[in-house]
Chain A
Amino acid sequence: MFDNLSEKLSGILDRLTGRGALSAADVDAASREVRRALLEADVALEVVRGFVEKLRERAVGVEIIKSVKPGQMVVKIVHDELVAMLGANAEPIDLNAPAPVPIMMVGLQGSGKTTTTAKIAKRLTEQMRRKVLMASLDTRRPAAMEQLAVLGQQVGVDTLPIVAGQSPVQIARRAIEAGRFGGYDAVLLDTAGRITLDEAMMAEAADVERAANPHEVLLVADALTGQDAVNLARAFNERVGLTGIVLTRVDGDGRGGAALSMRAVTGKPIKLIGTGEKMDALEDFHPARIADRILGMGDIVSLVERAAATIDAEKTARTAERMRKGAFDLNDLREQLGQMQRMGGIGGLMGMLPGIAKMKNQLATANVNENMLKHQVAIIDSMTPKERRNPDILKASRKKRIAAGSGTKVEEINKLLKMHRTMADMMKAIGSGKRGPLAGLANMMGLGGGGMPSPEEMAKLAEKMPGGLPGGGAPGLPPAMPGLPPQLPGGLPGLGGKLPGGLPGLGGFPGFGKKK
């Protein structure tokens, strides 16, 4: 159902996620596109408006977590807002009331009430072992009562005998009565379809509601509904007081915006979805899962969540301070590597990113793997504190000892040291740059505690740097990293592409860098 919306949104957000910084114009453009995607998915205009406003507010604002790119943050915001709109938890039909529990179905003509009534009855009977009675209160549509009777036979659920000439309220009373005497657990009341402008019909629904005092009042609505979804949901909610919504024809290729609209304006949960014409084509609605599906970017969302949880702001700030002074030693590097490991290592980080499968293969051929990270940590761990503070004292004999202690080779140690030196040099340059063109870079790396650079700063920076920003626009990239596999594409995650530019305090992955 949501496939189309999902496609559109991920397209828009894909273009954002790689970005290092979002200008107000970026956010504006993205908001416009999100608005369009939602409207094309039939989300009601007023709901879209609220959504986009919140998105804009939050995206332009300061809620940027260090080590996560703003674009990724926007994905998270869209996700959060979708969840907020759909509700967080699944809410099944509630039968917690004295038997027989009356359940009333309402909706527009042709929305699928009768079919849904029978489906729910079947489910309560078979899955929850309840004794269910169904009654049709539709005295208007030709053969509506016969339809429910036939369905009752099909699913093996009793229906209230049809008595000609009774009003819907009378039938409702008779159904509850029969439910009580017959020892039924639940009584399902299928009502006639009605347009919300028909005052007499709406009054009738309200009368039935008063007479039956239903424990659940379910609005049955078509997933293919357009902008009218808000009107109908509101009108029914005001007149009969809904407890939940059942969305039908979810198996169609509609874009499902009605679900978002109706939940948003009534605050009532979507409890069930109809997914086919068969009597068992009824499913629980899991809002969080749906939100993930709409976005198709659950991976980035959890990446942001984990990044936020893992990063120790204090440590980061301390490292930043040392960096600024040009005192980035192996202890600091060890700290960065450890943070990366805590986030699930390279594999963990990559696994969380969409479209990474291809990348993974390239990394494998380039011999970039978990082991490298582990080895680098082991190497540093095998050093004495003095060595860590002073890598310069590492001569051949010490290296041999460390290699033996860490189970690595001297070459690996050399590589690590070269990488560290490059990083330290670069950071010194940044630190001493003061107001120079690189002054903001440390901040950008998520190390300065200063948040994101302003768009102007970014622009200025881009101008001054030959070939634009390092890492294809992602800040926080050491421009030259040793051990970098030359055959890797420029869009290597974490570098130009999709990994958070400010990986915990570290511009990119140790051991490999951007293609030159």
Chain B
Amino acid sequence: MDDSTNATGKNWWQRLTGGLRRTSASISGAIADLVTKRKLDEATIEELEEVLIRADLGIDTAGRVAAAIAEGRYNKTVTEDEVKDILATEVEKILAPVAAPLTIAPDAHPFVILVVGVNGSGKTTTIGKLAARLAREGRKVTLVAGDTFRAAATEQLKIWSQRTGASIVAGTQGADAAGLAYTGLEQAREQGADVLIVDTAGRLQNKAGLMSELDKIVRVMKKLDTTAPHAVLLVLDATVGQNAISQVTEFQKTAGVTGLVMTKLDGTARGGILVALAAKYRLPVHFIGVGEGVDDLAPFAARDFARAIAGLN
């Protein structure tokens, strides 16, 4: 995919830093407060660790990053910029292996993307943005309104299909989602679509019944194409705390998650849990959501993300 620009011509990097700017401003402010003209001693490192905890890295990951920062620099006097640099480098080290674009394999017809996540995480909106992006690349996109549970979920996706010119396969509320996914895949084939994106109802990962419905969607599509779904995206909300770990575990178990998208990074939430997730799962992170608009989807870039978090640009 061509990730360098989007429809408005704004550089994605500007978007990403725009979305993260205030977030990083507060982090870098905190860093500045604590290390200006200070020795990198135990107390300072502890405070640095707390800055990371506040960004939702989680206590273990924060501890590890803080320890890495301390290593070899213990008791040295460091400037604010140096600390930012070090912080960015350490975070980037963890994130670099997981930054990967979403590759649409050319041999799948269509390439099926299943989108899953807990309620309200941003699945439908991400699908809208992704459809727009793929359409811009000249691909023919079909959407499946697989959320047959939530009130007006189908209407919501229909509006996105109109916005993006993607065709849509929808059923009635209460219809069987797996059946709809099957029909969607059939129709997409007939119409020669390049990509099929399947929306699903939000579900909490600890609800066994709902999770097995997800499993059914996967199984049913395999009847038509044993390699489908080709990508399973788990959409995470940046405000989520340590629960994201359990989300990844469970959705991966049931739906075989292949990659992550993190939304709402335009807010105050830091989304630092991504760092913990990267360390633990090594699942690729494809995109970040930085707003509600059709263009507010940026590819995930480790270096930039890390530098933006550290308050560098």
Contact = CB atoms under 8 A, between A and B. Distances in A.
Interface in A270-320: 277
A239 B77 CA distance: 41
Contacts of B54: 44-45, 227
Chain B binding site: helix, strand, loop or mixed by DSSP? Answer: loop
B243 A110 contact: no
Interface in A143-176: 143-144, 146-151, 154
A80 interface: no
A44 B55 CA distance: 10
B267 A253 contact: no
Given A40-B58, A254-B243, A150 B151 contact: yes
A143 B119 contact: no
B152 interface: yes
A146 B207 CA distance: 27
Given A42-B243, A225-B239, A231-B268, A110 B121 contact: yes
B118 A249 contact: yes
B194 interface: no
Nearest to A153: B151
Nearest to B150: A147
Given A141-B156, A151-B151, A226-B273, A253 B56 contact: no
Given A141-B156, A146-B152, A226 B269 contact: yes
A143 B156 contact: yes
Most buried by A among B55, B205, B240, B266: B240
B58 A45 contact: no
B243 A255 contact: yes
Interface string B144-180: 0000011111011011100000000000010000000
Most buried by B among A142, A150, A154, A277: A142
Contact of B243 (A150, A232, A252): A252
A352 interface: no
B290 to A, nearest CB: 10
Contacts of B29: none
B47 to A, nearest CB: 11
B211 interface: no
A143 B292 CA distance: 14
Contacts of B120: 109-112, 222
A136 B54 CA distance: 34
Contact of B269 (A144, A148, A228, A257): A228
A146 B205 CA distance: 27
Nearest to B201: A277
Contact of B268 (A141, A142, A196): A196
A252 B269 CA distance: 20
B267 A197 contact: yes
Contact of A195 (B156, B160, B268): B268
Contacts of B101: none
Interface of A: 36, 39-42, 44-45, 108-112, 140-144, 146-151, 154, 195-198, 222, 224-229, 231-232, 235, 249, 251-255, 257-258, 277
Interface of B: 22, 50, 53-56, 58-59, 118-122, 149-153, 155-156, 158-160, 173, 204-207, 237-243, 246, 264, 266-270, 273, 292
Given A232-B267, A232-B268, A255-B241, 11 more contacts: A40-B59, A42-B241, A42-B242, A109-B292, A110-B264, A112-B120, A143-B155, A149-B152, A226-B243, A232-B239, A251-B207
